[in-house]
Structure 1
Amino acid sequence: MKSLTWRPSVLAAFVVAECLLLQLQTPAQAELMLPSIFGDSMVVQRDEPVHVWGWTEPGQEVRVQLGDRAASGKANGEGRFDVSVPALPAGGPYELTVKADETKTFTDVLVGEVWICSGQSNMAWSVRSANDPDLESLSANYPEIRLISVPQVGTQEPQRDFKGQWAEATPETVKDFSAVGYFFGRQLHQTLDVPIGLIDNAWGGSAAEAWVPRDVLEADGKYESMLAGWDNRMAKYDYDALLEAWKEKQKAWVEKGRKGIAPRRPRDDSAGNHRPANIYNGVLLPTIGYTMRGVIWYQGESNAGRAYEYRDLFPLMIQTWRDQWGQGDFPFYWVQLADFRSEVDEPTDSSWAELREAQTMTMSRLPNTGEAVILNLGESADIHPKNKQDVAKRLARWALAKDYGYDLPYRSPTYRDAEFDGNKAIVRFDHVGAGLDTFDVNEAIGFTLAGEDQKFVRANAKIVSKDTVEVTAEGITNPVAVRYAWADNPVCNVQSKEGLPMTPFRSDDWPGITQPKE
């Protein structure tokens, strides 16, 4: 992993953002301030220069010391300082001291591995709502796992801080923390035996475009229609009027004896989790620059209806975060959408399958990325499957294998190519581990075939070698396309012998239902 280099271009982006913070202008007698991501009981990243920033008098000399490592810098014309303390190995506790015209000291600081836990509701889903919450919380005595959560603030105005504080992982603190995040961090802690810091900034229901700055979306050129739609909507949007109308309805409902369903309080969409750039400005920006190892991400449900757009939007989001952080191509691992909704009798188009495809494509678009396939962990009637333990383990496999040097199976089998020979499709796969296998029954379930008419039917499949499956279907004499697990809630059972489910795929590139019309 590349060392932290705080590039001038990245600093310039922060300066521009902070010029917009009229509500946070530097007072005449500027006090020394650091964002809440710095606090007692925090974990800072091992083996990397530790970036520390804050605000004081313009031109003020600032000295930062962590353990026996120290560095100095000077506040710029807006009063912001950026100092990188030389790297330390895992350990602690230490004190982090920041000295300008006054001094701030943070205690009980550990040095270890820091990961950001991000996405929408399935990442936000708490330990108390996951499987076995009583047992999980009872055993959560990990003083070297530290947790911090970023509140949900949606705004078009860049923010430089948030309200939050670090806490040890205890039976009480883990209950409301991200289940996937906590279980992921616990696996790393138990394996690596180093302190773990987890930053949870997930926001349920959030759309990917809300995590990207407005100027990046504008510059890309693919999102003009999206941005114009939001601009037109917001120009006519009057949340106060909606709120007053709701109050009148609420009053009438009470006067009539509270019969029937109570009027629903309106949401303020201008500050919501779908508006482009809202979450980037209010949630992510205050933490950008905090030295860390990488990101785990669980999101996509809110973008499934625009899966083709996600092919570009998701990589753009990841690359933007990397550019803004100035830490090179840090690890970014995500959870592919689980199985959800009703099973169907006949093959059909699927927006969720197309979103999964877009997620998988991102691995070939960007380096140091990875996907945890969880098609066997979903629940048809619940978009929030409770088995977050196994989700976290599949993410942890990626990190342990790719970032920490463990010889572990971590990647699901993926489609390589297909050869059509008579009435057969011969399909070959990469990343099969010890070989392809099936779960529950010997028959390989989940494949479909189509001829030139592009109509798919359920197919028969059998594993014929370590990395090859032979597929046929009644009535299809000249197949030209093969798919696997192509449904919202596919019935499928192929995996590696190590138990990692096969990645859904299609050999064709026929237009999908989320592909924009010309």
Structure 2
Amino acid sequence: MKTPLPNRFLLAGIAIASCLTSLMGSTAQAELMMPAIFGDSMVVQRNEPVHIWGWTKPGQEVSVQLGDRAAKGKANDEGRFDVSVPALPAGGPYDLTVKADETKTFTDVLVGEVWICSGQSNMAWAVQSANDGDLESLTANYPQIRLISVPTVGTQEPQRDFKGSWTAATPETVKGFSAVGYFFGRQLHETLDVPVGLIDNAWGGSAAEAWVPRDVLEAEDKYESLLAGWDKRMKNYDYDALLKSWKEKNDKWVADGRQGNAPRRPRDDSAGNQRPANIYNGVLLPTIGYTIRGAIWYQGESNAGRAYEYRDLFPLMIQTWRDKWGQGDFPFYWVQLADFRSEVEEPTDSSWAELREAQTMTMSRLPNTGEAVILNLGESADIHPKNKQDVAKRLARWALVKDYGYDIPYRSPTYREVKFDGNKAIVKFDHVGGGLDTFDVRELIGFTIAGEDQKFVHAQAKIVGKDTIEVSADSVETPVSVRYAWADNPVCNVQSLEGLPVTPFRTDDWPGITQPKK
């Protein structure tokens, strides 16, 4: 699963350095430079070689000391150095000292578990805006939980650094930090009793393709249209002209007494969170190579209209991150889209259901991945459900079981197979824990069924075994497909006895509304 420890970070460093050569040219560094991801109060990953990098004079000898561990290296022709310090167990605080043409020392360094907290606005959603945000902030006295946020910078030019610094979790510092990230990290810290470092790089409204390098997208024919569309859009794009036009309109609106709605200030799409590769270059790249345990992800809303494409795009994004990081198949856990928008009376197509399906498919495409199902935590009128505590706990269950060896329920029941017997469909599930159950009422809600005409109707369902549900409808004599929770905001209530919701599914592969027409 993992590449050999002594070499993997060096390889990652070489790959990253090649991306940044255009930024550095052949200019020699007059002083030792370290990216902001290294700083006082940081957490470095335990039980793994710690990758340290920076810039100095080309050919300069570099030595690094962390606690009682030391390593040496040499800067390359562009002045970049990559050094791997031997692994340490959890502990600290230590000093990290880097000596080159000058010396830098970082203090109060802890060794523990480091996680990336990424995605769009539901990951960026702050503690102070979550349920009981005031109470959560008041109790945030965790000196061994350390936080750092990466600013939202969108660019086509690879960046090597960002503005940010590590800080301990306090009632003040957690308020604006990712709620899902903080609650996830707090659960790990309280369970494992080790320091936890959280790197928040989420950007609200971001599209998945913005987190992927341009050359990776170009190598796949299926994204040719997406890239061509952006290239055409950007060819004569003039944000300054748009801004000037808006200012003129706004000035006139003010002079006319502010009647009606104010003109909307334009957004700079060239530097925005939807343009392919923008976030990879400006936000992710400066942190790639920092030794981590894994990543948690909450995104998909911005790609729901292209859910069929997400089947390939999402796994491509994850695999690219892993390739660039050089840490093998590090854990990557995501949050499936919550229930949202109005409930509908009759079964219908749903782009959000198709996006959830694409997310679920990724678990069978890539190892060390997992999905937190939160169909019972959403809010129909708010795309930002405020119950971030339970979202984080469902992510933490994956990590505690898969990465830390705990034996607790962690995975939602998933569809395994269906057999049709007359007018009945017999559906079997995996990962049912203690067995299938319902929430609130005993009646099973959320199933639909269809015959060859592909017209779905609401179905009756009953649990007939620990992992088995029987589904039927009087109006469908010969069913050929069953669906569950197939809607933007499905009304459904089936779960495991441990309270983990059944993963939405369909047994057919009929074309969906986001599948391109041939």
Q: What TM-score does the superposition give when structure 1 sets the normalisation length?
A: 0.98
Give 1:503 shift: 0.2
The whole-number CA distance in structure 1 between the counterparts of 2:374 and 2:386 is 12
The whole-number CA distance in structure 2 between the counterparts of 1:173 and 1:11 is 31
The whole-number CA distance in structure 2 between the counterparts of 1:148 and 1:13 is 24
The whole-number CA distance in structure 2 between the counterparts of 1:30 and 1:507 is 63
Asked if the contact 1:250–1:262 (Cα under 8 Å) also holds between the matched residues in 2, the reply is yes
Match of 1:483 in 2: 483
The whole-number CA distance in structure 2 between the counterparts of 1:246 and 1:229 is 25
The whole-number CA distance in structure 2 between the counterparts of 1:201 and 1:489 is 28
The whole-number CA distance in structure 1 between the counterparts of 2:445 and 2:162 is 49
Match of 2:167 in 1: 167
1:6 aligns with 2:17: no
The whole-number CA distance in structure 2 between the counterparts of 1:139 and 1:190 is 13
Q: Once the two structures are superposed, what CA deviation does each residue of 1:321-366 show, in whole Å capped at 9, x if it has no partner?
A: 0000000000000000000000000000000000000000000000
What does 1:245-260 align with in structure 2 at a 5 Å threshold?
Answer: 245-260=245-260
Asked if the contact 1:213–1:277 (Cα under 8 Å) also holds between the matched residues in 2, the reply is yes
CA separation of 1:199 and 1:26: change in aligned 2, threshold 3 A: farther
Match of 2:18 in 1: 16
CA separation of 1:26 and 1:198: change in aligned 2, threshold 3 A: farther
The whole-number CA distance in structure 2 between the counterparts of 1:111 and 1:10 is 21
CA separation of 1:26 and 1:254: change in aligned 2, threshold 3 A: farther
Match of 2:185 in 1: 185
The whole-number CA distance in structure 1 between the counterparts of 2:462 and 2:17 is 59
The whole-number CA distance in structure 2 between the counterparts of 1:90 and 1:174 is 23
The whole-number CA distance in structure 1 between the counterparts of 2:22 and 2:441 is 60
Give 1:262 shift: 1.4
Match of 1:86 in 2: 86
Question: What amino acid is the match of 1:479?
Answer: P
Match of 1:339 in 2: 339
Asked if the contact 1:20–1:157 (Cα under 8 Å) also holds between the matched residues in 2, the reply is no
Asked if the contact 2:115–2:292 (Cα under 8 Å) also holds between the matched residues in 1, the reply is yes
The whole-number CA distance in structure 2 between the counterparts of 1:43 and 1:396 is 19
Q: Once the two structures are superposed, what CA deviation does each residue of 1:139-159 show, in whole Å capped at 9, x if it has no partner?
A: 000000000000000000000
Match of 1:426 in 2: 426
Match of 2:349 in 1: 349
1:31 aligns with 2:31: yes
The alignment's C-alpha RMSD in Å is 1.0
Question: What amino acid is the match of 2:447?
Answer: F
The whole-number CA distance in structure 2 between the counterparts of 1:265 and 1:417 is 52
Q: The residue matched to 2:457 in structure 1 has which SS?
A: strand
Asked if the contact 1:448–1:457 (Cα under 8 Å) also holds between the matched residues in 2, the reply is yes
The whole-number CA distance in structure 2 between the counterparts of 1:7 and 1:188 is 25
The whole-number CA distance in structure 2 between the counterparts of 1:167 and 1:26 is 35
Question: What amino acid is the match of 2:317?
Answer: M
Aligned length: 516
Match of 1:361 in 2: 361
Match of 1:268 in 2: 268
Structure 2 spans left out of the alignment, 5+ residues? none
Question: What amino acid is the match of 1:282?
Answer: G
Asked if the contact 1:51–1:82 (Cα under 8 Å) also holds between the matched residues in 2, the reply is yes
Asked if the contact 2:208–2:317 (Cα under 8 Å) also holds between the matched residues in 1, the reply is yes
Asked if the contact 1:356–1:504 (Cα under 8 Å) also holds between the matched residues in 2, the reply is yes
Q: The residue matched to 2:379 in structure 1 has which SS?
A: coil
Give 1:8 shift: 6.4
The whole-number CA distance in structure 2 between the counterparts of 1:246 and 1:377 is 40
The whole-number CA distance in structure 1 between the counterparts of 2:15 and 2:29 is 25
Q: Once the two structures are superposed, what CA deviation does each residue of 1:481-512 show, in whole Å capped at 9, x if it has no partner?
A: 00000000000000000000000000000000
Match of 1:141 in 2: 141
The whole-number CA distance in structure 1 between the counterparts of 2:222 and 2:11 is 24
Match of 1:279 in 2: 279
What does 1:488-503 align with in structure 2 at a 5 Å threshold?
Answer: 488-503=488-503
The whole-number CA distance in structure 2 between the counterparts of 1:29 and 1:382 is 50
Asked if the contact 2:10–2:82 (Cα under 8 Å) also holds between the matched residues in 1, the reply is no
Asked if the contact 2:29–2:79 (Cα under 8 Å) also holds between the matched residues in 1, the reply is no
Give 1:26 shift: 6.4
Structure 1 spans left out of the alignment, 5+ residues? none
Match of 2:196 in 1: 196
Q: The residue matched to 2:156 in structure 1 has which SS?
A: coil
The whole-number CA distance in structure 1 between the counterparts of 2:334 and 2:11 is 28
What does 1:63-74 align with in structure 2 at a 5 Å threshold?
Answer: 63-74=63-74
Match of 1:328 in 2: 328
Q: What TM-score does the superposition give when structure 2 sets the normalisation length?
A: 0.98
The whole-number CA distance in structure 1 between the counterparts of 2:134 and 2:344 is 36
Q: Once the two structures are superposed, what CA deviation does each residue of 1:306-326 show, in whole Å capped at 9, x if it has no partner?
A: 001000000000000000000
Give 1:296 shift: 0.2
What does 1:310-325 align with in structure 2 at a 5 Å threshold?
Answer: 310-325=310-325
